[in-house]
Every structure is written in structure tokens, then in C-alpha cells.
Amino acid sequence: YVTKMLRVFGVVQGNEQVGFSDGAGEGGASKEDTIGPFVDAFVDFRETIRNAVKSKAAPGEVMQHCDDVRDTKLAALGIRVEDGAGSSVWKMDDPEVIRKEVEEKRQKAAEAAAKKIKAKLDKLNTDLTKAQTSKIPPAEFFKTGANAEKWGSYDDKGMPATTKQGEPLSKSQQKSAAKELKNHQKAHDKLVSAAGEQGIEAYLASLQQQIDELQANMDA
């Protein structure tokens, strides 16, 4: 089988079913010089796969090794391997052409990965900002931040009772405040549920840690 495959690559000359012909390779090169790079690539790949299997590597890691040998060792030998829906096919090509295509492919993959990381980072930042507001206890909602500047007094549930000028709230103000507090209560309950047993502060810290790690990856 190995002889057949090397003959397909143009490495083996003659019609022997097993082994190599007695003649030197093209250009007078020795057998070792001719087949050496191909055998080295195969042996290195075999050793990599053996080690991966022995260490019970995940399927994704094994597939990555397959992609690596395709994009490095075989590409350098001028062998283009194209993956299809069924089996892979190969053809001979200029190593430099293959190298450039592989580099372009990697660049696009890197850009796509960076875009994905940025989208996740943006979402985490948005989630953290919302959570910083949602963590406020409902009874303290109107007494905190910008809300504290609007009202003068509150009832026992934390609802505003008078404006900053000491005037009772109008019906529309009462309705608006009640709706605002209801929405905040929902957001607060959702945050408490998401935080679970670890608590809100630990949950917020975990969000910040994820943000820091993703930002470090983007800056690397």
C-alpha cells in the first residue's frame, strides 16, 4: 500500500509491487533523498496520532493534528489535500501557492475568532452593567444614584412619597414609579436566580473575570 501511494506521488519509479526500483530517483537523487521527506512527514504524523490516542486526547485535538499535517508538512511537499463531504482528495501544486492559501485561511479564521470574542465581550460588558443596577434591593431602588435626586421622601416599601420640593406625587408620577419599580423587581429577581448559591457579588466578580480574560486574549 505504501509503495502504491508513493508511486502515485511520483516518488517510486518502476512497476515493482513492493519496495522501490533499483534506479535512482529523478535527477539522480538517492532513494533516501527522494522518499525521505515523505516518509518523515508520515512517521511524524503517525507518532503524533499514537501519542494523542495514548493520552486519550479529545477527537477535536486529533482532528487538529490532521489539519496541521495537511497545512504544514504536506503543503511544504507540494501536496494539496482538500476535504470533501465524503473522502479527502489530493493533488500536486506549488508549495508556495499552497502556503499562501493556508495563511489566508488562517487569517480569516483568526479574524472570525476575534469577532466572536468581541461579540461575547460586548455582551458580558452589557450584562455586567445591567447587573450592577439590578443588584440594588428593590426597597432601595429609588434612594440610589440618579433616582435619589428626584424624590424627597419615601413610604415603608421604598416608593417615593414626595418630590424633592416636598410635593405629593401626581397620579401619573405614582403610576410611572410603580411601573419602574415592578420592572426593577423582575430584573433583581432574575439576577438573584442567575447568581444562585454563590450570591450576587460573587456572580458579578465571575462576570468581571470573564471580561478580563477575554480582553487579555484580544490584546495578546
Model confidence pLDDT, tens digit, residues 85-138? 888 899 999 999 999 999 999 999 999 999 999 999 999 999 999 999 999 999
What's the pLDDT tens digit per position in 28-67?
A: 567 788 888 999 999 999 999 999 999 999 999 999 999 9
Residues 139 and 214 in one domain: yes
Residues 118 and 89 in one domain: no
Residues 85 and 122 in one domain: no
Range of the domain at 154: 110-219
Predicted confidence at residue 200, as pLDDT, reads 97
Mean residue pLDDT of the chain comes to 87
Predicted confidence at residue 18, as pLDDT, reads 44
Of 93, 118, 144, the last residue of a domain is 93
Residues 60 and 15 in one domain: yes
Tell me, yes or no, whether 187 lies in a domain: yes
Tell me, yes or no, whether 103 lies in a domain: no
Residues 6+ apart with CB under 8 A from 142: 148, 150, 151, 154, 158, 159, 160, 177, 181
Exposure on the CB side of residue 86, measured as CA atoms within 13 A = 1
Tally the domains of the chain: 2
First to last CA, the chain: 46
Residues 10 and 74 in one domain: yes
Is the pLDDT at 10 greater than 90, yes or no? no
92-95, long-range: CB < 8 A, 24+ apart: 92/9, 92/10
Is the pLDDT at 72 greater than 90, yes or no? yes
Tell me, yes or no, whether 136 lies in a domain: yes
Predicted confidence at residue 86, as pLDDT, reads 81
Residues 88 and 7 in one domain: yes
Of 93, 123, 155, the last residue of a domain is 93
Residues 73 and 132 in one domain: no
Tell me, yes or no, whether 116 lies in a domain: yes
